[in-house]
Amino acid sequence: MKVTILGNNSALPAFGRHPTSQAVTIGSEIVLIDCGEGTQNRMQRFGIKWRSIHHIFISHLHGDHYFGLPGLLNSMSLLGRTAPCHLYAPAELEDIIMAILRVADTTLSYTLHFHALPPHPTVLFEDQRMVLKCFPVEHRIACWGLLLEAKTRGRRIAPEKCAEFGISPLHFESLKAGADYVPPEGKVVKNEWVTEPGPKPKKYAYCADTVYTKSYLETILGADAVYHECTYLDADREKAKMRFHCTAVQAAQIALEAETQLLLLGHFSSKYRELDPFREEAAAVFPNAVIAVEGMTYDI
C-alpha cells in the first residue's frame, strides 16, 4: 500500500500547494480520495494512471474536495475509458454530476456507478485485495473519512513442514486460507502444523475535514498510518473550532490515541506560507508526524 499526495492545502491554492486529493495504490489498483481543483493535472505530473482508478471517494461537498471531479470524469471519457468506475460520495453529488453532463449534452463512454455515503460506518467495497470502509466525521456539513485495508494472502507456508507430511504444493492455496489438510488416507494435518501466521493487513485511515472529536477513534484504532487534517496551528485553536477544523496538536492527539505508526498532516490553511511549525507542534505530542508533501509517495 502506497499513498501519493496530489493536494495538501485547504480551500484555496496557495504557495505552490493545491486543494485536497490523494491516490492510494493497493497492488495494481488505485483508489482516488477527494478530487480538488486541478487533480488530473497533478495526476499527470506525478504518474498516477487513470486506467488504474476504479474507485473514487469524495468526503464531502465543499468545493476544494470535489471541483476537480467533473473534469476528471469527462477526460477519462474523452480518452476512451470503457471500464466501469465506482463513485462513493454524499448523495447530492449524483444530481450535480448528472446536471453537468446533461447541460453539456455529454454521455460518458463508461458506466459510472454512484454509491451514496450512509450516516454510519459502512463497508463500501470488499474483494480479495482490499476493503474500503467509510465513517462519519464532524464538519460544518456532512462529511466522511475512509479506512482502507490492503488484505494479505493469508498464512505463510512452511515448505519443510509440508514436505514432512507429504503435502503437495497443489494444496498451498487452501493452507494459506487457513484450511487443514485432509489426506486420502491417514490423519488430518492441522493447519498450524505446516503454516505460520501471515503478515497483518495494512490499514490507512483518511480523516477528512473535522472538528476535534474522538467519535471515530474506534474505527481507525490500530491503523498503520493516519492522514488527519490540521488546518490551523494551535494559536488559532478557537478559529479551528468555530470552522469545524483541527489544529496540528489535535491531529497528533488523535494519532497518539489511535495507536498508529505514522501521522500525515494536511489540509493547511492558505494563511500559512511555512509548514514546518505544523510538524513541530504535532511532533511534540506524536513524534512520527510528517507533512503530507505534494508529489511524495508514502509507503504504508
The pLDDT value recorded for residue 154 is: 80
Q: What is the pLDDT of residue 298?
A: 98
* Regions of the chain short of the pLDDT cut 50: none
pLDDT at residue 128, rounded to an integer: 87
pLDDT of residue 253: 98
Strand partners, 7: 21
Q: Which residues contact 187 (CB under 8 A, 6 or more apart)?
A: none
Q: Give the DSSP letter string of the chain.
A: -EEEEEE-B-SS-BTTB-B-EEEEEETTEEEEEEE-TTHHHHHHHHT--GGGEEEEE---SSGGGTTTHHHHHHHHHHTT--S-EEEEE-THHHHHHHHHHHHTT---SS-EEEEEPPSS-EEEEE-SSEEEEEEE---SS--EEEEEEE----SEE-HHHHHHTT--GGGHHHHHTTPPB--SSSPPBPHHHHEE--PPPEEEEEE-S--S--TTHHHHTT-SEEEEE--B-GGGHHHHHHTT--BHHHHHHHHHHHT-SEEEEE-B-TT-S--HHHHHHHHTTSSSEEE--TT-EEE-
- Euclidean distance between CA atoms 108 and 29, whole angstroms: 21
pLDDT of residue 178: 87
pLDDT of res. 219: 97
Q: How many angstroms separate the CA atoms of 193 and 258, rounded? A: 34
Structural domain boundaries in the chain: 2-152+199-299, 156-195
Residue 195 CA: distances (Å) to CA of 34, 129, 154, 238: 40, 21, 10, 54
Cα-based angle 276, 280, 285 (whole degrees, multiple of 5): 150
* pLDDT at 124 (0 to 100): 98
pLDDT at 186: 81
Q: Are strands 85-89 and 112-116 parallel, antiparallel or unpaired?
A: parallel
Confidence (pLDDT) at 181: 93
Catalytic residue among 64, 95, 209, 224: 64
Per-residue pLDDT reduced to its tens digit, 165-174: 899 999 998 8
Q: Which CATH number fits domain 2-152+199-299: 3.70.10.10, 2.40.30.30, 3.90.850.10, 3.60.15.10?
A: 3.60.15.10
Residue 64 annotated among the catalytic residues of the structure: yes
Q: Give pTM, 2 decimals.
A: 0.89
